[in-house]
Structure 1
């Protein structure tokens, strides 16, 4: 059966629910990151930022299982594309490690800017303005708060990212509801 691009986009949008469980996972984890400086030393916080990011995907899978969302759209080439779009984040890890070793104060700036930028293609895959909001909100807040308020960045940036992701989840749910109507 030959499916059009538009049909593939519609199918994946509803099968994976625009991937909102992963965004919800990120919102929760970044909210936890917000409070880490009041609990741990900054040396530990830096490491939490490096290794804690690895929890977002498995936690998102758990959330998707609980909510009954299939994040693995087998049989839809756009599902493969979504995975390919996400994969380059693995190449950011050496950048994060170098920033950690040289100027750890800029981890929120670097992680927020690079991590936020990877959401842009999902705007096209899911035909979603919410992902444009997530990309711009995450990147701009990381740039401004992480670049100009470095002393407060480990509090301000994860709080901003958590809020942006949370709003993104609400926008996605609204888009899904609108698309169903």
Structure 2
């Protein structure tokens, strides 16, 4: 099919099939946040915060490695929605100064901030992938960061990443269900 003759719906369908709704990125995030859960048990707060800020930048590259291993084509050069998805993901780089500011002035609120800002970036993928799973991921990540990171500040570095990891894992299961339904 000619690139110019494709409809938006065809681009979305192609993206859904090739990228498998981006589940390897979520798997990467789930693994990394699960690892973050245990950091406060072995390290003091200052290095934990720095690992959080730097570790967030590992999610996407690790996700790409998982994509390669699972034969998932997330970065399709022939689909403009892939470019849009990449732009949405890349916009998170602008959150880094916020994370640094929170780290310098209120480090105990870093899980709250990362959870809310990071979780909110998933909302556009609901449209790109025609996926209610991404609405669940957005609301689950943001609400758990809001409640656990805002009200249980003392345990936030353990509770927020654990909740995020669980939300992502449930989101992956929902995506698998959607992919199965889409295939029928």
TM-score w.r.t. the length of structure 1 is: 0.98
Q: Which residue, out of 153, 158, 168, partners 1:155?
A: 158
Question: Is 2:126 aligned against 1:123?
Answer: yes
Question: Helix, strand or coil: the match of 2:58?
Answer: helix
Query: Following superposition of structure 1 onto structure 2, how do residues 52-67 of structure 1 map, counting pairs within 5 Å?
Result: 52-67=55-70
Q: Whole-Å Cα distance in 2 between the matches of residues 82 and 177 of structure 1? A: 22
CA distance in 2, matches of 1:86, 1:29: 17
Choose which of 26, 32, 45 in structure 2 pairs with 1:29. Answer: 32
Q: 1:41 aligns with which of 35, 39, 44?
A: 44
Residue matched to 1:165: 168
1:135 alignment counterpart: 138
Runs (4+) off by over 6 Å? none
Match in the other structure for 2:75: 72
Partners of 1:82 and 1:9 lie apart in 2 by 11
1:179 to 173, 177, 182: 182
RMSD over equivalenced CA pairs, Å: 0.6
Per-residue CA deviation, residues 102-135 of structure 1 (Å, 9 max, x unaligned), is 0000000000000000000000000000000000
How much does 1:41 deviate?
1.1
> Which ranges of structure 2 fall in alignment gaps of 5 or more residues?
none
Aligned counterpart, 2:105: 102
Tell me, in whole angstroms, the C-alpha distance in 1 between the residues paired with 2:129 and 2:69. Answer: 22
What SS does the corresponding residue of 1:16 show, helix, strand or coil?
helix
